[in-house]
Chain A
Amino acid sequence: EIVMTQSPATLSVSPGERATLSCRASQSVSSNLAWYQQKPGQAPRLLIYGASTRATGIPARFSGSGSGTEFTLTISSLQSEDFAVYYCQQYNNWRLTFGGGTKVEIK
C-alpha cells in the first residue's frame, strides 16, 4: 500500500495570502496524483490531476506541482470560498489511497 502523508494538518491563512500544502508518498507515484477540495457537508471536488493539470472550471489561483514522492498544492491568493479541507490521492497503483487531509482555516 502506498501511504500518502499530508502536511500540515491545519494551515491558518489570511484572505489574500498564499497557501502551500504538501503531500508525500511512501514510494514514487510518478505524476499520478490528484488533489480534491472538500467543504463542510459537501462531497469532495476534483481540483488537480496528473499532479499539475487543473480540472475543468478550477480557477487559475490553484496550482499543483511535484513528481515522484513530493507534491505541492498552492493557492496563490486565498478567497473566502477556498477555506476547506484538501486531500491528495495517488493512482499510480490500483490500490487507490488518499492523504489524511489539510484543513485550510481563516487566520
Chain B
Amino acid sequence: QLQLQESGPGLVKPSETLSLTCTVSGGSISSSSYYWGWIRQPPGKGLEWIGSIYYSGSTYYNPSLKSRVTISVDTSKNQFSLKLSSVTAADTAVYYCARLLQWLVLGWFDPWGQGTLVTVSS
C-alpha cells in the first residue's frame, strides 16, 4: 500500500525559506502514470494546490505562488521536496504531499500524506 510522509521543520522565521520533503513508500515515485504534489491548508481554512512534479522533473506550479516555489524530485531516494521562499505568517498551514493520477495534464489526489503543520513566526 502506497504511503507518503512529510518531514521538515515545524517552525520557520519570516522571510526565510520553508523546506519540506515527502518520502514515498510502498511504491515507486518513477511510476509513469502519476505526478506528485503539494497542497496546503491554513488553520481552519480550505485547500490550496501549491504545485506538482513528474519523476522526470517536469513541474506545474500554482501561478499565485510560482515566484516563490520550487519542487524537486530525487528518484534514488523515492522523495520529492518543496521549497517556499520569503515566507510570511500567511504561509502558516498544514502542508500535505499526495500522489496525483495523470489525467489530461493533472488529475486527482490519492493518497495523501498525514500532513505537517508549518508555523511562520519569529
- Tell me whether A96 and B106 are in contact (CB under 8 A): yes
Contact of A97 among B49, B52, B112 (CB under 8 A): B49
Question: Which B residues are CB-close (under 8 A) to A45?
Answer: 111-112
Interface of B is mostly: loop
Contact of B110 among A55, A97, A98, A101 (CB under 8 A): A55
- Tell me whether B115 and A43 are in contact (CB under 8 A): yes
Interface of A is mostly: loop
Chain B interface category by residue count: 20 to 34
Question: Which A residues are CB-close (under 8 A) to B60?
Answer: 94-95
- Tell me whether A32 and B103 are in contact (CB under 8 A): yes
Central interface residue in A43, A45, A46, by most chain B CB within 10 Å: A43
What would 17 A/B residue contacts be, using CB atoms closer than 8 Å? A32-B103, A32-B107, A34-B109, A43-B113, A43-B114, A43-B115, A44-B109, A44-B112, A45-B111, A55-B110, A89-B108, A89-B109, A91-B103, A91-B104, A94-B106, A95-B62, A96-B49
Q: What residues make up the interface of B, taking CB atoms closer than 8 Å to A?
A: 37, 46-49, 52, 60, 62-63, 96, 101, 103-115
Q: What residues make up the interface of A, taking CB atoms closer than 8 Å to B?
A: 1, 32, 34, 36, 42-46, 49, 55, 87, 89, 91-92, 94-101
